[in-house]
Structure 1
Amino acid sequence: MSDIPGGPMESRPVHFIWILDVSFSMSGEKIGTVNYAIREAIPEMRAVAHDQPSAQLMVRVLTFSATPRWHVATPVPVEQFTWQEVGVDGGTNLGDALKAVARELETPPMPRRALKPVLTLVSDGQPLDEDWREGLKAIDATPWGRKAVRVAIAIGGDADRSVLQEFLANPELPVLDANSPKQLAAAIRWASTAAVKAASQPVVSGDSGSGGKQLAPAYAPPQLDDDDDDDVW
């Protein structure tokens, strides 16, 4: 009935990919807050998905340290998604992680009829691989990579914000600064909802993806209130 005029609209997938730095520098409170914040954001992601009947939100998770690993390799409908905690190990090799994501943005495995994917990169450091830009080029070389809604969260004062800004591919989009557990939780909560809303809008002619002017209103930076939080990274 979905192809009959006036019938129900067919939903199209929105692929949401967390790209999480799990290097040793993320030990302790940082990785603990990431685990807590993503787990707590899942109900909000479900609520946003429920309000977007034309979109089916599919979630997966890539972690990276010395090597990238698919923590959740197969896209899971957000209604069925449960968070399994991640741990830390190794260094910060970003390039291989981005190449792994790029392979998933080809068609196939991405379906032809989809909405813009969401790529959310979370890191507290600097890439150790000098050729990390090759991974970014691999993402940009895919049609879905160019269309993707991108979010970057910088944890603490050691995070290389210039790298995260390059990932965003648009100087008008802000890197979200998370300098405490409270700010990190707020940034993850925002990325889990606002970015999904932006991605759930159909791709239109002339939409150039994360670099397009059309997405700028969806990226109004959240208010990361920190008045009563003394624990600063």
Structure 2
Amino acid sequence: MSDIPGGPMANRPVHFIWLLDCSFSMQGEKIAKLNYAIREAVPEMRSVAHDNPAAQLLLRTVTFSTTAQWLHQTPVPVDDFTWQDVQVDGMTNLGEALHLVARELQTPPMPQRALKPVLALVSDGVPTDDWKAGLKAVDATPWGRKAVRVAIAIGADADRGVLQEFLGNPELQPLDANSPKQLAAAIRWASTAAVKAASQPVAGDGSGVSPVKQPYAPPVLDDDDDDDVW
């Protein structure tokens, strides 16, 4: 591998971080379908990663309920990643989860030559802590500002205003997942399109961090007249 400027580079990391709402309102079918959808999306993420050999896809997961915690804090290469089902518990402390993520979006621990990270937020409710402070912490990091962001709103009670602010781009909208079928489609899209966008090298100083417009368009999910609606 050449270290000469402009020479070939391989295995620049793309850090993909799920931020998953595991509050009590997610109990039952919602959490079961979320676990199923992510587990089924992992092979598709592997396929996308194999199509982008210059990028190394690394996965992590934060869950937030009464507390926020890492399900996978150490980045796991997608080929080695096995989904662990999440469980529901209590409140919706999104702000705490964002603070956890913000600490990982510094350099270090993020390598300077990484590609843009992906932050994928999934929620069905309203935050119960100071989420604005958490979002401010993410936005204060260089990698947080440049991240490819995706937001999925599960059901009618999801706070789309919060998800819109998380996206940080008025041209982007949260994906509405109002049924199991739509949730599966949204997770599948977030797992693949966002990775493709993040895997594109950015022109500039070679660090992979420079201002860019997020290069993806959210899909229009089909209506599900014959499906359960949340």
TM-score bucket of the superposed structures, by smaller chain: over 0.9
> Partner amino acid for 2:81?
F
> Partner amino acid for 1:142?
T
CA distance in 2, matches of 1:59, 1:13: 10
Aligned to 2:26: 26
CA distance in 1, matches of 2:70, 2:28: 22
Aligned to 1:145: 144
Which of 223, 226, 233 is equivalent to 2:220?
A: 223
Q: Deviations over 1:75-99 (max 9, x none)?
A: 0000000101000001001111100
Q: Residues 159, 3 of structure 1: CA spacing in aligned structure 2 closer, same or farther, 3 A cutoff? A: same
**Aligned counterparts, 1:30-179, within 5 A:** 30-129=30-129, 131-179=130-178
> Partner amino acid for 1:222?
P
The secondary structure found in structure 1 opposite 2:96 is helix
Number of residues paired by the alignment? 226
Q: State TM-score, norm by structure 1.
A: 0.92
CA distance in 2, matches of 1:85, 1:225: 26
Please tell me the root mean square deviation across aligned C-alpha atoms, in Å: 1.7
> Partner amino acid for 2:183?
L
Q: Is the 8 A contact 1:18 1:61 kept in 2?
A: yes
Return 5+ residue gaps in structure 2 as ranges: none
CA distance in 1, matches of 2:6, 2:95: 47
Q: Residues 164, 5 of structure 1: CA spacing in aligned structure 2 closer, same or farther, 3 A cutoff? A: closer
> Partner amino acid for 1:173?
L
Return 5+ residue gaps in structure 1 as ranges: none
Q: Deviations over 1:177-211 (max 9, x none)?
A: 00000000000000000000000011234942xxx
Give the drift of 1:4.
6.6
Q: Is the 8 A contact 1:102 1:139 kept in 2?
A: yes
Q: Residues 119, 85 of structure 1: CA spacing in aligned structure 2 closer, same or farther, 3 A cutoff? A: same
Q: Is the 8 A contact 1:13 1:58 kept in 2?
A: yes
CA distance in 2, matches of 1:41, 1:226: 21
> Partner amino acid for 2:140?
A
The secondary structure found in structure 1 opposite 2:58 is strand
CA distance in 1, matches of 2:158, 2:63: 17
CA distance in 2, matches of 1:107, 1:171: 28
Q: Deviations over 1:12-42 (max 9, x none)?
A: 0000000000000000000001100000000
Q: After TM superposition, which residue ranges in structure 1, 4 or more long, deviate above 6 angstroms?
A: 4-7
CA distance in 1, matches of 2:192, 2:70: 22
Q: Residues 92, 50 of structure 1: CA spacing in aligned structure 2 closer, same or farther, 3 A cutoff? A: same
State, as a whole percentage, how many aligned pairs show the same letter: 77
Q: Deviations over 1:128-163 (max 9, x none)?
A: 11x210000000000000010000000000000000
CA distance in 2, matches of 1:6, 1:163: 41
> Partner amino acid for 2:104?
E
CA distance in 2, matches of 1:198, 1:10: 17
CA distance in 1, matches of 2:171, 2:203: 20
Give the drift of 1:227.
3.8
Q: State TM-score, norm by structure 2.
A: 0.93
Q: Is the 8 A contact 1:2 1:10 kept in 2?
A: no
Give the drift of 1:228.
5.0
